């Protein structure tokens, strides 16, 4: 049987899609716009794409045994990336992950806050749209062309996460023949976001004139459909990182035709609509960082400031209006719950706060829901608390009583243990060491120390929620900079908004790029020395 039916049960509703022999369940779902998290890119290593096979159960593979215990396997739990149905089947996908995802759209601006005001929306003669494409999430804001104010903001998951949690996984997927799938996925996500914006203020695309998009270089390449073959290998050359303008219909025509939620909202009407992809600096310091530098006012500051974007690819910059040094370091997905044994995204039930006294553990979760796993901030707090209570030593070795099964943090409603394992400790050591070493290398190359830094801006959702004292306690951030550090929120979205509302923004971005220099870290001796030093806990 070459083709067969897959009945997908999710959120109390059913949908039937077509599968084909030799295709993984994960690929079949993605081909019908049903996306599961797959931090490892569908290689059976992360355990995040679990589904329950109700009928048509597939064989149990070794990867399934690594993530599900015997009772779960008997109930039909399987990794979608390792399941290859041969005939009709029914599967159950757990809900709550996407609907509850906590996505940060607030941002800090050197000029003004990110106030949102829908009451005057009807008085606007037209709108622009600002978009941030993050590796994990997407945020879009509707901007009044008359008022220059944010009228409404929407957020959603970047469904490319079905192809991997980080940019390296996405690059690999693109180079393995999935470039068009990845491009189609992000264009669909952006179009649906814009439909949601317009529906919220009861208007349509005829009143839109410009769409400004910021994102890292890989996200920009996947959006545009550029080859990623030179992004992931030395000397890491992008196809194009200059400001790029394309007509709306060319970019989103197919997404509009395939949309099930547009409900008559036309893709294009009236005057042409321009889609502008903002410029970047290099293959790994993209438009999201340029936008962040813009909205934090680096080009107008005499003080030396630092911007750090703590995501799967830790990007950072140090400088002022005279000189800016930038770099990027492979932090990995630990800050977003990836590669963590009980890790998950920032969704309802994700443990985000942890206090440990002896063996007693107190947890707080997103949405105050029952605990399901650990998000990035929970990972930081677990590491800090275990270090404080001396359950792990300065080398990162977990106490022998918990070495095999991990330190128990909580129980899920199903009675499953949420634990912090020795492997999890190593993951956070690698991530925090990469970020701290990158920062110290930039400061060294700039010729300054921490005491010379006026402000540190932490960009992104992870930095927005993070306990700064605990982050410094494990050595992620310099303790002496705590009083000068602030969570800046979604500075990428803020920069895209500023591009649309500040007449000087185009020139300011050109200035930022002109004075910016990237410091490569791969063969930097000082970075490698710092990396080994900061692998230890302070």
Q: What is the pLDDT of residue 496?
A: 97
CB 450: neighbour CB atoms within 10 A?
16
Q: What is the pLDDT of residue 45?
A: 81
Give the separation between CA 148 and CA 499, rounded to whole angstroms: 11
Q: What is the pLDDT of residue 474?
A: 96
Give the separation between CA 136 and CA 4, rounded to whole angstroms: 32
**With contact defined as beta carbons under 8 Å apart, do 342 and 50 qualify?**
no
Q: What is the pLDDT of residue 115?
A: 47
Q: What is the pLDDT of residue 98?
A: 52
**With contact defined as beta carbons under 8 Å apart, do 201 and 170 qualify?**
no
Question: What sign for the dihedral angle of Cα 324, 491, 235, 46?
Answer: positive
Q: What is the pLDDT of residue 384?
A: 97
Nearest CA to 335 out of 436, 213, 403, 405 is that of 436
**327: its two tokens:** 């770099």
Q: What is the pLDDT of residue 109?
A: 61
Secondary structure E strands in 320-462: 324-329, 350-357, 360-365, 373-374, 407-411, 417-420, 455-459
**With contact defined as beta carbons under 8 Å apart, do 174 and 168 qualify?**
no
**With contact defined as beta carbons under 8 Å apart, do 390 and 422 qualify?**
no
**With contact defined as beta carbons under 8 Å apart, do 389 and 413 qualify?**
no
CB 325: neighbour CB atoms within 10 A?
19
16 Cβ contact list (under 8 Å, min separation 6): 5, 6, 7, 8
Q: What is the pLDDT of residue 307?
A: 97
Report the chain's C-alpha Rg in angstroms. Answer: 23
373-374 sheet: strands from edge to edge: 360-365, 350-357, 373-374
Q: Which tens digit of pLDDT belongs to each residue from 373-426?
A: 999 999 999 999 999 999 999 999 999 999 999 999 999 998 889 999 999 999
Q: What is the pLDDT of residue 44?
A: 87
Q: Which tens digit of pLDDT belongs to each residue from 47-60?
A: 888 899 999 878 89
Give the chain's residues under pLDDT 70. 1, 95-102, 104, 108-122, 262-270
Give the separation between CA 182 and CA 414, rounded to whole angstroms: 35
Nearest CA to 492 out of 280, 330, 325 is that of 280
Give the separation between CA 163 and CA 39, rounded to whole angstroms: 7
Q: What is the pLDDT of residue 271?
A: 74
Opening angle at CA 43, ends 38 and 46, nearest 5: 50
User: Which spans in 201-302 are helix H?
Assistant: 217-224, 248-258, 287-295
Q: What is the pLDDT of residue 113?
A: 43
402 Cβ contact list (under 8 Å, min separation 6): 391, 408, 419
**With contact defined as beta carbons under 8 Å apart, do 25 and 108 qualify?**
no
Nearest CA to 326 out of 301, 308, 313, 310 is that of 308
The DSSP secondary structure of 24-65, one letter per residue, reads -HHHHHHTTT-----TTSSSSSS---EEEEEESPPPPPHHHH
Q: Give the phi and the psi of residue 296 in degrees, each rounded to 5.
A: -90, 0
Q: What is the pLDDT of residue 101?
A: 64
Task: Supply the pTM of this predicted model.
Answer: 0.87
303 Cβ contact list (under 8 Å, min separation 6): 320, 454, 455
**With contact defined as beta carbons under 8 Å apart, do 361 and 354 qualify?**
yes
Give the separation between CA 52 and CA 184, rounded to whole angstroms: 27
Q: How many CA atoms lie within 13 A of 432 on its CB side?
A: 29
118 Cβ contact list (under 8 Å, min separation 6): 151, 152, 200, 201
- DSSP lists the bridge partners of residue 350 as 373
- DSSP lists the bridge partners of residue 89 as 6
């Amino acid at each position: 049987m070459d083709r067969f039916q897959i009945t997908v049960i999710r959120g109390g509703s059913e949908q039937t899609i077509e599968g084909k022999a030799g295709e993984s369940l994960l690929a079949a779902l993605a081909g019908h716009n049903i996306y599961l998290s797959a931090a490892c890119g569908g290689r059976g290593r992360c355990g995040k794409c679990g589904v329950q096979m109700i009928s048509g159960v597939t064989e149990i593979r070794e990867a399934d045994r690594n993530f599900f215990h015997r009772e779960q396997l008997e109930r039909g739990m399987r990794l979608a990336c390792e399941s290859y149905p041969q005939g009709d089947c029914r599967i159950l996908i757990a809900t709550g992950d996407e609907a509850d995802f906590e996505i940060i759209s607030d941002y800090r601006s050197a000029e003004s806050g990110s106030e949102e005001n829908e009451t005057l929306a009807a008085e606007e003669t037209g709108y622009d749209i600002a978009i941030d494409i993050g590796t994990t999430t997407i945020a879009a804001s509707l901007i009044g062309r008359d008022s220059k104010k944010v009228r409404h903001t929407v957020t959603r998951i970047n469904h490319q996460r079905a192809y991997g949690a980080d940019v390296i996984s996405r690059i690999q997927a693109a180079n393995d023949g999935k470039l068009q799938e990845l491009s189609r996925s992000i264009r669909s996500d952006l179009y649906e976001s814009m439909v949601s914006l317009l529906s919220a203020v009861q208007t349509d695309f005829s009143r839109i004139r410009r769409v400004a998009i910021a994102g890292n270089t890989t996200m920009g390449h996947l959006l545009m459909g550029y080859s990623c073959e030179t992004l992931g290998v030395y000397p890491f050359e992008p196809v194009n990182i200059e400001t790029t303008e394309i007509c709306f219909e060319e970019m989103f025509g197919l997404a509009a035709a395939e949309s099930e939620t547009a409900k008559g909202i036309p893709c294009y009407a009236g005057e042409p609509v321009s889609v502008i992809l903002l410029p970047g600096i290099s293959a790994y310091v993209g438009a999201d960082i340029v936008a962040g530098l813009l909205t934090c006012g680096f080009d107008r500051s005499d003080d030396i400031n630092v911007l750090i974007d703590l995501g799967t690819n830790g990007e950072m910059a140090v400088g002022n209006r005279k000189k800016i040094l930038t770099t990027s370091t492979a932090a990995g997905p630990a800050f977003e719950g990836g590669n963590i044994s009980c890790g998950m995204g920032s969704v309802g039930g994700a443990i985000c706060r942890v206090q440990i006294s002896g063996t007693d553990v107190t947890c707080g979760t997103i949405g105050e829901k029952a605990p399901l796993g650990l998000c990035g901030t929970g990972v930081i707090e677990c590491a800090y608390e275990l270090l404080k209570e001396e359950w792990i030593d300065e080398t990162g070795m977990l106490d022998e009583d918990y070495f095999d099964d991990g330190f128990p943090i909580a129980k899920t409603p199903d009675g499953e243990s949420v634990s912090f394992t020795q492997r999890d400790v190593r993951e956070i050591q690698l991530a925090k060491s990469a970020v701290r070493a990158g920062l110290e290398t930039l400061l060294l190359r700039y010729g300054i120390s921490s005491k010379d830094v006026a402000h540190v801006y932490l960009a992104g959702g992870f930095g927005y929620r993070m306990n700064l004292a605990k982050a410094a306690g494990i050595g992620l951030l310099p303790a002496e900079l705590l009083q000068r550090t602030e969570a800046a929120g979604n500075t990428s979205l803020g920069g895209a908004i500023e591009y649309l509302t500040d007449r000087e923004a185009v020139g300011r971005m050109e200035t930022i790029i002109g004075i910016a220099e990237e410091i490569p870290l791969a063969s930097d001796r000082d970075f490698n020395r710092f990396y080994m030093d900061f692998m230890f806990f302070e």
